[in-house]
Amino acid sequence: MHYLPDSFDGSLFLGTEIELVCFFPFSIALGFSGDTSKWIQIESEWILRCGNEVLEHITEFPIQSSKLLSTIGKKVLKFDINREKNNILLHLDSDMSIEVVDTPNGYETYKIDDGEQDIIV
């Protein structure tokens, strides 16, 4: 299992908008505005919420479609890291959020590319 470095706080995503949602056979990638090299690639479980309502809870791939498309154009207002569980939570405008859940399956859960380094969790 890999962990986010202690020095990583997610602040590079603050104020950016989700511009791309790319589907791959066993992952989904989110591309962010500004520097086109900012990506989060999700390779396991995620939860999409609007307020307290769960819009989508995906636990396995491949998938045929996703409500993550509704996040295109949404701005990242806050980036939370649960270091104990190794989860990340992106708070978006319109009261939406995306939680990426680290799963104990022995495989990568997500990858963060900030244009200079790839952080694999």
Task: Compute the distance between CA of residue 51 and CA of residue 92 in angstroms, rounded to an integer.
Answer: 10
Task: Compute the distance between CA of residue 86 and CA of residue 110 in angstroms, rounded to an integer.
Answer: 10
Please, are residues 43 and 110 in contact by the beta-carbon 8 Å criterion?
Answer: yes
Three-class DSSP category at 114:
coil
pTM above 0.95?
A: no
Q: Which residue has the tokens 């996040």?
A: 71
Residue 52 neighbours by CB under 8 Å, 6+ apart: none
Amino acid, single-letter form, for residue 43: E
At 48-81, the pLDDT tens digits run 999 999 999 999 889 988 999 999 999 999 999 9
Mean pLDDT confidence for 77-98: 96
Domain locations in the chain as residue ranges: 11-120
